[in-house]
Amino acid sequence: MRVQVAIIGAGPAGMVLGHLLHRAGVDLIVLEQRSRAYVEGRVRAGVLEHGTVQTLRDLGVGERLAAEGLVHDGVSLACDGDVLRIDLAALTGGRGVTVYGQQEVMRDVFDAAEARGLPVIFGCEDVALEGLDGAAATVRWGQDGAAQSVVCDFVAGCDGQHGVSRASVPPGVLVTHARSYPFAWLGILADVPPAAPELIYASHEDGFALASMRSATRSRYYLQCPLDTRIEDWPDGRFWDELERRLGPEAAAGVVRGPSFDKSLAPLRSTVTEPLRFGRLFLAGDAAHIVPPTGAKGMNLAVADVRRLAEALLAFYAEGGEGALDAYGPAALRRVWQAARFSWWFTGLTHRFPGADGFDRRLQRAEFDVLAGSRAAQMAFAEAYVGPAEV
């Protein structure tokens, strides 16, 4: 078998890239280690930037998103109980964000792939990449006990930090810049109405809290906690008590308690890998970078990566020459580092770091007061939060 592009990984990056290329007539295949049910069922991000929403609509996979997504024109920050609403739409020329779970995005892109004949193969075992520095690459895998392979012009590595794509690059080629944060997020899902119509990011002297949602009847809440936290030590009652305390009286007044049906613990970290190209291989999405969830940038960066990568590949097939392909990595990394900076800043504003003292807390409060008193500061925050205007 021969195709022009082999995509490794059927997460958001891989599937959006697949749709972008398939729409333009590029011969491709998407290979995924897990089952569709596994990929579609992973509980992940839920805040979509303006550009991500536009991309999904442009691809014709945004019908349910338009009907069921919750459009947010603002977001609230709380500090020691004081609440500041930032009007995203007013500050960015009408752009906001949309709450629509990653699981729903995956359902939409998988359904569309089936309808359009976009080839996605699930259950690929022992995937191996060969010839990445040659004239053509070969991808090998096993399925149902049979050996399979495909020869391709290019490989798009969209299979995450621990996937075969990164591991196939020779030692010494990639440099990974990393920052691990000394805390985690304890999260719950509950079928109760959200505490507020928009997200609330709370900074409290005892740690961060986030009031979010997945729908008008399903809430997602997080608490900052130590890395060694045990989920079993946090029954629902204790979680609700601590959430309301950190949100403060005004925000907590909207909390509706109910039994949780999912609890999770997620350490926070940032990683950025450079370069994003090795011969025939291009890295995109989580294979190239991870950002803390504070700024809601993970899936949005993945979509931004593959938009650029699709443009570069289509330019190659239309015009020849590899200038656009060479430019993909540097251009994508500029956006990635801007998002990493925002996530790092926002995490520092809202979280309690081990060893922090009264001076550190007063600086956090001063930063909150700057936002509260400065339209320019709010505009900078809003632009970073909703993402660039261009698609």
Cα 308 to Cα 283: distance, rounded to the nearest angstrom: 12
Question: What radius of gyration, in Å, describes the C-alpha atoms of the chain?
Answer: 21
Instruction: List the Cα angle 383/51/100 in 5-degree steps.
Output: 100
Query: Smallest Cα–Cα separation from 163: which of 130, 113, 126, 134?
Result: 126
Cα 192 to Cα 71: distance, rounded to the nearest angstrom: 19
φ, ψ of residue 361 to 5 degrees: the values are -65, -40
Identify the sign of the CA torsion 349, 353, 358, 360.
Answer: negative
Query: Smallest Cα–Cα separation from 280: which of 311, 322, 243?
Result: 322
Cα 154 to Cα 325: distance, rounded to the nearest angstrom: 11
φ, ψ of residue 128 to 5 degrees: the values are -135, 140
b vs e for 272-301, b when ≥16 Cβ sit within 10 Å of the residue's Cβ? Answer: bbbbbbbbbbbbbbbbbbbbbbbbbbbbbb
Helix, strand, coil in percent for the chain, rounding step 5 = 40, 30, 30
Q: Which residues are catalytic?
A: 72, 201, 293, 297, 385
Cα 368 to Cα 373: distance, rounded to the nearest angstrom: 9
**203, 81 Cβ separation under 8 angstroms:** no
| Residue 9: other Cβ atoms inside 10 A | 29
Cα 249 to Cα 265: distance, rounded to the nearest angstrom: 26
Indicate the SS3 state at residue 206: coil
**Exposure on the CB side of residue 142, measured as CA atoms within 13 A:** 5
Place of tokens 């010494």: 172
